[in-house]
Amino acid sequence: MSTIRIAGVIPARLSSTRLSRKVLRVINGRPMVEWVWRAATSCGLMDPVVVATDSEEVAAVCQARGIPVAMTSAACPSGSDRVRQVARQIEAEIYVNIQGDEPTLTADFFPPLLALFDRPEVEVATLAVRCPPEEIADPNAVKVVTALDGRALYFSRATIPFARDLGRDPVRDGSGFTGYRKHLGIYAYRKAALERFAALPPSPLELAERLEQLRLLENGIALYVAEAPGDTIGVDTEADLLRAEAVLLGRSAR
């Protein structure tokens, strides 16, 4: 992987709907997006790592803190579309789409993701982690099932697989199948796969589940899944923000 140029891209939209201005919310003295950028840069595998935004305010905050910025269109419907626009500004062979609202991310998440590209058949990669029991039936936690070689078979907000003979409620039963996996929304694309993905229209399963990665599967683009070193906290609410702050405070106290 050392001979391949890998660019990290952190899409950062200021006008989030569930938690206003969340990428600039301050956690332990730093805006949220800076925590993400520091984790991505500290792994040493991506150069550059840029924040992709349409907001002049986000750009100004980042530039004041020495964080590189790529300006993208306000019309981008998704983070992957912002990454595609960055791919037209910055030449690389692999682009990593890093969620700007996951401040508890660490450098350890990137090596397993990028190691998948040692396999020539891998065009798109992502991460998953063992699903906490309390989230197995939660539609906000996206579950993934894979083939034995790590190729994703399906992603769903539903509980997949459904362990028919082990009871109807995997949380309350507390027994039987233990292989539920939770998808983490970090993606890495070879450039051609990114261009193809972003050019495709939303697919039926994507629209039904509200999961854009299903567009890849419906169009025959294989997506491979590596095991993450742990879970992250995606910040969508004030409660999430407080949980993330507690985690980061705990790390700084070590």
Full set of structural domains in the chain with CATH = 1-105+237-254 (3.90.550.10), 108-184+202-231 (3.90.550.10)
Is the predicted pLDDT of residue 169 greater than 90, yes or no? no
Between the CA of residue 215 and those of 6, 145, 231, what are the distances in Å? 23, 16, 24
Nearest to 247 by CA among 226, 233, 237, 236: 233
Between the CA of residue 81 and those of 11, 147, 199, what are the distances in Å? 9, 28, 9
Rounded to an integer, the average pLDDT of 90-107 is 96
- The predicted pLDDT at position 26 comes to 93
Q: How far apart are the first and last CA of the chain?
A: 32
- The predicted pLDDT at position 170 comes to 52
- The predicted pLDDT at position 207 comes to 95
Nearest to 135 by CA among 102, 170, 108, 106: 170
Q: Express each pLDDT in 222-232 by its tens digit.
A: 999 999 999 99
Q: How confident is the model at residue 242 (pLDDT cuts 50, 70, 90)?
A: very high
Q: How confident is the model at residue 59 (pLDDT cuts 50, 70, 90)?
A: very high
- The predicted pLDDT at position 81 comes to 86
- The predicted pLDDT at position 178 comes to 73
Q: For the whole model, what pTM was predicted?
A: 0.92
Report how far residue 169's alpha carbon sits from residue 180's, in angstroms, rounded to the nearest whole number: 13
- The predicted pLDDT at position 30 comes to 94
Is the predicted pLDDT of residue 1 greater than 80, yes or no? no
User: Please, which residues have CB within 8 angstroms of residue 148's CB and are 6 or more apart in sequence?
Assistant: none
Report how far residue 244's alpha carbon sits from residue 137's, in angstroms, rounded to the nearest whole number: 22
Q: Express each pLDDT in 202-229 by its tens digit.
A: 999 999 999 999 999 999 999 999 999 9
Q: Express each pLDDT in 72-95 by its tens digit.
A: 988 787 888 889 999 999 999 999
Task: Tell me what the pLDDT averaged over the chain comes to.
Answer: 91
Q: Express each pLDDT in 24-47 by its tens digit.
A: 999 999 999 999 999 999 999 999
Report how far residue 97's alpha carbon sits from residue 80's, in angstroms, rounded to the nearest whole number: 7
Alpha-carbon Rg for the chain, nearest whole angstrom, is: 18
- The predicted pLDDT at position 135 comes to 92
